[in-house]
Amino acid sequence: MDYHLFIKLHLSIFISALCVLLKAEASDSIFFLDSPGRPYFRPYHSENVIESNPISLSEVSAAVSVLLGFAPPPSLPVESSSKLDEVLLPNPFDRPRAVLMLEVKGVKDPSLFIDNSNSQVSSALRTKILLSSSKAEIQLPDEDEVSVVLLDEPLSLECDAACTDTELREFANWIGGSYVGTLESSDGELTIPLASGTSLYLHISKEADREFALGLASLVHNVKRAVEMHEDFAGSMQNPAELLMGCFTGIQALQDQYGPVGISEQGMELFLTTLSKLFDSLQVAYRGKIAGLVIFNEKPSPNSGLVLNAKSSTRSSRWLEEGSPESPIDLATLEMLLVRKVLAWITGIILLISTLIGIYFLVNMPLTRDTLLYSNVKLD
């Protein structure tokens, strides 16, 4: 074989492999959802998509820590810090302290749907993300300063068949559709009109349809639960940062059953509409002090769950137990809360009495005894 032909052949193979690699990397992306009234990210421009310098999982976890009001890990490299400056606004005194982080598995190219069907997500800052086989951790403080709400907690853990039917019916009414039949009799059907002019029909008897519908219903249910917890925190002395995190696998289930077109495309459109309405409701509940990160993962890793984990999840779960009105409170927790409240009242009363006594003696003090004002006066 000619030497030049051999070089050209290997060069073409290398270019083809590089194109495949770049295409695989370009399939995973992250969108930063912002509040129009209180921006926390850099303004979005079409040229602001970072193509050649994608963000890594460790940098995303550092961004979440900063948005929650905590310092990024000290081990963060200088290059990663400069990359965060390209995404986050530089004001360190204005952080939302509430973050919605959602991973969507099985989505190949979300821009095909986002640019056409959803104004909320289409205006978001987007960039590429490098996903590896290993997971990353969000560094949270050791103190009980953060509340973590899992958005992918299934309805079956707290609902029976009748309760699940109720949740599906409420979701259908909330999104503008209808739900007929029951889950127990396997004749439930969910009908949702889409903005594109078509309607999506989901038969609960089919496994993929059921997983997608229940995933959306549980997502809406858990977001509403997070809003209730936020209102409980607002009416109490507790003011933790709030992290709403979850993983949505409904699109992947539809693609495994029906392929990437047809029902899967309709499901993607419905998911984006649901996500937009949920983030709008969160902005109203949090008064704009919330940011969103949505990771689209085309090829999920063999590890289940989110690619990002909260490090202090055990401590954060205690906020859920204390803040949820439906969860039981044990005797030790009640005693701890009672001791805290008694100590706070005693300290406040002592400080009030000390202040009043000090004011009394200051008002009744003779003028010539005030050594600060009359330091040069000779006293008898």
For the chain, the helix, strand and coil percentages under 3-state DSSP, each to the nearest 5: 50, 15, 35
Contact in structure between 320 and 144 (CB atoms under 8 Å): no
- List the alpha helices (DSSP H) in 182-288: 207-234, 250-258, 263-285
- Quick check: 23 pLDDT over 50? no
pTM for the model stands at 0.72
Contact in structure between 134 and 293 (CB atoms under 8 Å): no
Residue range 55-84: mean pLDDT, rounded: 87
- Quick check: 210 pLDDT over 80? yes
The tokens describing 328, both together, are 């039981």
Which pLDDT tens digit goes with each residue over 334-346? 777 888 888 999 9
- Between 75-84, 132-141, 182-191, 208-217, the lowest mean confidence (pLDDT) is in 132-141
Which pLDDT tens digit goes with each residue over 216-231? 999 999 999 999 999 8
Distance CA 328, CA 124 (A): 40
Contact in structure between 204 and 190 (CB atoms under 8 Å): yes
> Which region holds residue 284: left if phi is over 0, alpha if psi is between -120 and 50, else beta?
alpha
Distance CA 287, CA 159 (A): 31
Mean pLDDT, rounded, of the chain: 78
Tokens 């509403």 -> residue: 224
Distance CA 22, CA 330 (A): 54
pLDDT at 84: 86
Greater pLDDT, 107 or 314 = 107
pLDDT at 136: 79
- Quick check: 158 pLDDT over 50? yes
Which positions ≥6 away from 61 have C-beta within 8 Å? Answer: 73, 136, 137, 138, 139, 308
Give the total residue count for the chain: 380
Return the bridge partners of 193, or none.
199
- Quick check: 56 pLDDT over 50? yes
Q: Angle at which helices 207-234 and 263-285 pack, to 10 degrees? A: 10
Which pLDDT tens digit goes with each residue over 284-336? 999 999 999 998 887 765 555 677 777 764 444 444 444 444 444 456 667 77
Distance CA 359, CA 344 (A): 23
SS3 assignment, position 28: coil
Greater pLDDT, 333 or 240 = 240
